[in-house]
Structure 1
């Protein structure tokens, strides 16, 4: 047990925090996928993308020990401190990621629909 603590003491705290955050976000998105696949396809996909954008949009925190942080924390901190610039900076980052993911989701749905129609077309073709 002491060797486990020695190994953990040798790893920087920032690396542990980022790893735990990413693993927790992955688990939350995986759980939400279980819910989203039971919803209508469009609604399920959109809610998963919204969860992804909220959980995983990065920003840079301010202060002496500035590092990468989730934008939702900056947004909430800005709302609590009534710092409009902080709110808009973090909200714009989240909306940017949301927009990019929505465009990619739209393109992916068109690609899969086209692929499915080509499979059906090729099966019904006499050649």
Structure 2
């Protein structure tokens, strides 16, 4: 590494070390989820409207439904990880609690999507009037 770059690297390293690890993890998780949802939107818009919307809602709920993790280092975590952990440890209460949270988010999003689609349909489309100019001849 060149001599002038070592100072920049040291400053960048000290900046990164000053940020708590939890904040970095949550930021990476949220940005990763947004990238996944954006990529799925590219696929879902080519599907029939209802199927694309429902699959996007299901992926959103699986990725971003929060829950509280168990243990001494408990904190906020995705419910999907709690669901997988509950299946692996055969803890039925953990499975059902996380599955119910994911199902609640799916149901709530579908109700909101239904009302949004009704709102979009009931909104009158703005039409553009084209006036023909008659020539004086």
TM-score scaled by length of structure 1:
0.91
Q: Measure how far apart 1:8 and its partner are.
A: 1.1
Post-superposition CA distance 1:59-110 (Å, at most 9, x none)? 0001111100000000000000000000001000000001000000101111
Answer 1 or 2: higher relative contact order, Cα 8 Å, separation at least 6: 1
How far, CA to CA, are the matches of 1:5 and 1:61 in structure 2? 30
Structure 2, gaps ≥5 residues long: 1-8, 130-137
Higher helix content, 1 or 2 = 1
The partner residue of 1:75 within 59, 77, 83 is 83
Q: Which residue of 2 aligns with 1:98?
A: 106
Q: Which residue of 1 aligns with 2:67?
A: 59
Partner SS, residue 119 of structure 1: coil
Q: Measure how far apart 1:4 and its partner are.
A: 1.4
Number of aligned positions between the proteins: 121
How far, CA to CA, are the matches of 2:12 and 2:77 in structure 1? 27
The partner residue of 2:125 within 111, 119, 123 is 119
The partner residue of 1:86 within 87, 90, 94 is 94
Moved beyond 6 Å, runs of 4+: none
Structure 1, gaps ≥5 residues long: none
Q: Measure how far apart 1:119 and its partner are.
A: 2.1
Aligned-residue Cα RMSD (Å) equals 1.4
Q: Measure how far apart 1:123 and its partner are.
A: 7.2
Q: Which residue of 1 aligns with 2:10?
A: 2
TM-score scaled by length of structure 2:
0.85
Q: Which residue of 2 aligns with 1:16?
A: 24
Which structure has the larger Rg? 2
The partner residue of 2:118 within 89, 107, 110 is 110
